[in-house]
Structure 1
Amino acid sequence: MNRNIAIIGAGSWGTALSISLSKVGHSVKMWSVFKEEVDMINNVREHIDKLPGVLIPDGVLATNDVEEAISGADAIVMVIPSQTIRANAKDISKHIKNGMIVVSCSKGIEESTGLRLSEVIKEEMPQCEVVALSGPSHAEEVARDIPTTVVAASNNLKAAEFIQDIFMSPKFRVYTNSDITGVELGGALKNSIALCAGISDGLGFGDNTKAALMTRGIAEITRLGVSMGARRETFAGLAGIGDLIVTCTSMHSRNRRAGILIGQGKTLQEAVNEVKMVVEGVTTTKAAFELAKKKEIIMPITTEAYNVLFNQKNAKQAVADLMMRDKKNEVEVLDESVWM
């Protein structure tokens, strides 16, 4: 059945999802705060800045009016920077009906509260059902119909299945998962590890180093996630190790690109300015560092990333300190009240 979908956010990911949804027959209204972006999408039928060369189907309409975007929508898809989620959800709340399904496609943790984005949305829109859509999914590839697989997660399995039905296509496969905590944390925390992978590349290190970062990184993500109520097995899936692999290894990853620049000697601000896109891993690293302290979880890679990003620690020294930590046994203890 064809549906009416509202996309809140017209960046690369919002545009890619709009294209994908339109191709399977849905009517899409995409909201942007920027008039020039709306005009470009409606008139040029291309997002020249974010997805050059990709045609936007006629079934996608862009608007500056958020009420117009969500009027008559069967689902609202939020694809905006994580730190703007609360303000936008608050603004939208007065326009939506009870039981509306809101899809969170952003990946991050609210810096001021440490809340997952679905929790932020639910605080501001208690009348809605929230689904998190996450997994290894670069916008540049989704927009070009490269086969991609993601997870729709929700405490309400019927809501997740509804979104699964809407998004499924021969080029975009969707699984469901009831562990929204794990799916969101996997999608958010991998950005911090991807920054580290980029720093490693910028320092001139090799595949051995990156493999170690990814492997020990997913161990850290899992430790923190389980302490927050997530299921361990979620981090072995698409939203965990799957998303971590693609974000740490691809030049599509803005987090990895920013990390490369930092490893090459640029300051954090210089790196973010050069990437010219929101680097979610920066605020996520800070949030993860604070959560780890609060939960008393040992996260050595995250700690060193925090020190490099915010305390101007030398990146090479951070790597040396990681390598020379106290000796450990690799096998994690089964008693999850003890974190090694």
Structure 2
Amino acid sequence: MARTSLRRQPRVAVIGSGSWGTSVASIVARHSPTVIWGRSPEVVEQINTGHTNERYLPGFDLTPSLTATTDLQEAVEPADILIMAVPSHGFRGALDDLAPHLRPWAPVVSLVKGLEQGTRKRMTEIVDEVLPGHPAGVLAGPNIAREVVAGYAAAAVIAMPDPHLAAQLGELFRTTYFRIYSSSDVVGVEIAGALKNVFAIAVGMGDGVGSGDNTRAMVITRSLREMTRLGTAVGGQPETFAGLAGMGDLVVTCTSKHSRNRHVGELIGQGVPLPEILAGMKQVAEGVKTASVVLKVAADVGVEMPIAREVDAVVNHGSTPERAYRGLLTEAPGHEVHGASW
């Protein structure tokens, strides 16, 4: 992307009108002409006429200049920058659909925190496959959508292979209360974003069965260690996992009452069947689909993932939260930092 395009206010397309995609679109619209694509005519109409998204962000006003459309070509064709905010299972399909309409070399920023089932690929790897030549990066951090759109102080990190482009793009997302840091560790930021959802289910299950604060702190801390082991094994930088995309996002996703993945785990802990939980949700809890993929990635690189293993056993293989926690506690603890397991 030429530097002049940022100086002339680049046109931005956000693909996905869920809570986080809408929040980010509303922020970016303060800086540049921005259009958000959504499947729902009702949501698109609300954004265009009422400057709200009552389905996913009820009660919050959006930037008045933000526009919306159900026409993918209309959203993408003028865009200098593409922001992807669709769930991981629909990510590749959305890129396939928009590829004929996207201008060459336009950067693609993913907001998605998951891994593709089957291929085990990160979202930027999918961008590289479907849209070769387009710089691909990720924006992540401890960001509860409704708090960001409400203007609460928060921060995120944007990771691109080119740190100069990361810094440039970061200006699109920055506000007085939303701090944006830059990084070149795309792998680490994406892996952290995917894993934290799995671990949030684990914490939620503990909350659901009535475990205490000590248990919650233990699981979060050991989850961070598990995340760091796998992340560095696949090429991430260790310091990334102590930052906003790692520890920051892990803490908020494991503790916030607004966290979808923690909510799923809590209801599982209370005995609600998973299909019933998912049927009652408006948006995707990425950790449910990611758990099994994470274990396959871990097996590929020879990393033990006891917490992720127990989550997968519960959501995919009929185990229970009680068995999961008993299984974790029967493992002998080793060295806190250098030990290979839980």
Same fold (TM over 0.5): yes
Match of 1:150 among 153, 156, 175: 156
Structure 2 residue matching 1:72: 3-state secondary structure: coil
Instruction: Check the 8 A contact 1:97/1:127 in 2, yes or no.
Output: no
Note the C-alpha offset of 1:339. Answer: 6.7
Matched, 1:16 2:27: no
Partner of 1:213: 219
Distance 1:161 1:99 in 2: 17
Distance 2:58 2:281 in 1: 16
Which letter does structure 2 place at the counterpart of 1:10?
A: S
Match of 1:115 among 110, 116, 121: 121
Structure 2: give runs of 5+ residues left out of the alignment.
1-6
Partner of 1:305: 311
Taking structure 1 as the reference length, the TM-score comes to: 0.95
Cα deviation digits, residues 264-284 of structure 1 (max 9, x gap): 001111121233320100111
Note the C-alpha offset of 1:207. Answer: 0.9
Cα deviation digits, residues 30-69 of structure 1 (max 9, x gap): 1012222211221232111111111122211100111111
Which letter does structure 1 place at the counterpart of 2:165?
A: A
Task: Map 1:129-140; keep pairs closer than 5 Å.
Answer: 129-140=135-146
Distance 1:197 1:276 in 2: 21
Equivalent residue pairs, number: 335
Matched, 1:287 2:302: no
Partner of 1:322: 328
Distance 1:261 1:191 in 2: 15
Which letter does structure 2 place at the counterpart of 1:13?
A: W
Which letter does structure 1 place at the counterpart of 2:320?
A: N
**Identity over aligned residues, as a percent?**
38
Partner of 1:89: 95
Call closer, same or farther: CA 1:5–1:291 in 2, change over 3 Å. same
Instruction: Check the 8 A contact 1:223/1:339 in 2, yes or no.
Output: no
Note the C-alpha offset of 1:74. Answer: 2.2
Cα deviation digits, residues 89-147 of structure 1 (max 9, x gap): 11111122222111101110001111011101111001211120001011111111111
Which letter does structure 2 place at the counterpart of 1:11?
A: G
Which letter does structure 1 place at the counterpart of 2:184?
A: S
Partner of 1:193: 199
Task: Map 1:21-60; keep pairs closer than 5 Å.
Answer: 21-22=28-29, 24-60=30-66
Matched, 1:99 2:105: yes
Match of 2:256 among 241, 250, 258: 250
Distance 1:219 1:18 in 2: 33
Instruction: Check the 8 A contact 1:3/1:166 in 2, yes or no.
Output: no
Instruction: Check the 8 A contact 2:305/2:341 in 1, yes or no.
Output: no
Q: Which moved more, 1:186-195 or 1:87-96?
A: 87-96
Which letter does structure 1 place at the counterpart of 2:81?
A: A
Distance 1:246 1:92 in 2: 33
Distance 1:113 1:120 in 2: 9
Which letter does structure 2 place at the counterpart of 1:6?
A: A
Structure 1: give runs of 5+ residues left out of the alignment.
none
Distance 1:339 1:259 in 2: 22
Distance 1:10 1:85 in 2: 14
Taking structure 2 as the reference length, the TM-score comes to: 0.95
Structure 1 residue matching 2:157: 3-state secondary structure: strand
Match of 2:77 among 66, 71, 77: 71
Distance 1:125 1:33 in 2: 22
